[in-house]
Amino acid sequence: MFSLDGMTALVTGASGGIGSAIAVALARQGARIALSGSNGAKLRAFREQLQDEVGGDHVEITCDLSNTTQVEELVPAAIDTFGKLDILVNNAGITRDGLMMRMKDDDWQSVLDINLSAAFRLMRAATRPMMKAKFGRMISITSVVGTTGNPGQMNYAAAKAGLVGMSKSLAQELASRNITVNCVAPGFIRTAMTEVLPEDQKAALNGRIPMGRMGEGEDIGAAVAYLASREAGYVTGQTLHVNGGMAMV
């Protein structure tokens, strides 16, 4: 069940904590992965690790999502490599946190450009080949804060909420072509960044989660693998919240 044998995927932000977990989950189900990110050396090291530990035929494609030209070339590059694209995962994102009174225009714009506009361009580029194939899975990684909001993250919350609205709209446009468009909204996920937090901060964070712990990257990877599967063909325009009960929406 949930086999992705014969399918190809493009994952942005693939060498990060959540991105690498998503890539591993898809590869374990049999997909071939085009791993994208801005750090070529880090991508190459992860691709070699993925092939050694999981197996499969994977490639890395370096792309700076703040560069419109590179973004426009990313989907065609993945298709040129694999001959088709079945799954697009918009995972890459940045934060530029700050209270609204102190937030600079550049902090607002850079988060919107990378977290939302780049995803729009990748989805637009993937639409035509997926329509031609009469099959496709587009999955964007949003966030619980796109639903709840969060002080100091107006830009990030706006971009993540925008992904949800954009996905719902595209889902309606493409449903008749057997293309689904969905989101996964992580809550607090244990990453290298959260591991360096003081223990009292970790305890405070865990206290907000009914399950009493942060999630793992594998929890997000499993959700993406399900939505990418053929079995999820009747699920579209949805946001799957993976947050340990922190926000029950």
Residue 86: domain span: 8-239
Domain presence at residue 66:
yes
Phi and psi at residue 34, to the nearest 5°: -95, 110
Domain presence at residue 249:
no
**What CATH number is associated with residue 165?**
3.40.50.720
What is the Cα–Cα distance from 150 to 160, expressed in whole angstroms?
A: 12
- 46-81 pLDDT tens trace: 999 999 999 999 999 999 999 999 999 999 999 999
What is the Cα–Cα distance from 181 to 24, expressed in whole angstroms?
A: 21
The predicted structure's pLDDT at residue 16: 84
Helix spans in 83-117 (H): 105-112
| Number of domains within the chain | 1
What confidence tier does 192 reach under pLDDT thresholds 50, 70, 90?
confident
Domain presence at residue 2:
no
Phi and psi at residue 98, to the nearest 5°: 170, 150
Domain presence at residue 26:
yes
Torsion of CA 101, 247, 137, 112, to 10 degrees: 0
Domain presence at residue 118:
yes
CA angle 38, 179, 185 (to 5 degrees): 55
Domain presence at residue 246:
no
177 compared with 200, residue with greater pLDDT:
177
Find, among 52, 66, 54, 61, the residue nearest to 10 by Cα.
61
- 1-43 pLDDT tens trace: 689 999 999 999 998 899 999 999 999 999 999 999 999 999 9
What is the Cα–Cα distance from 241 to 223, expressed in whole angstroms?
A: 9
Distances (CA, A) of 25 to 37, 134, 158, 174: 18, 24, 28, 25
Average pLDDT over every residue of 134-138: 98
The percent of residues in the chain predicted with pLDDT above 70, rounded, is 99
Give the residue numbers marked as catalytic: 156
- 193-225 pLDDT tens trace: 677 778 888 888 899 999 999 999 999 999 999
- 91-125 pLDDT tens trace: 999 999 999 999 999 999 999 999 999 999 999 99
Domain presence at residue 197:
yes
The predicted structure's pLDDT at residue 205: 85
Domain presence at residue 226:
yes
Helix spans in the chain (H): 17-28, 40-53, 68-82, 105-112, 118-133, 145-148, 154-174, 192-195, 199-207, 217-228
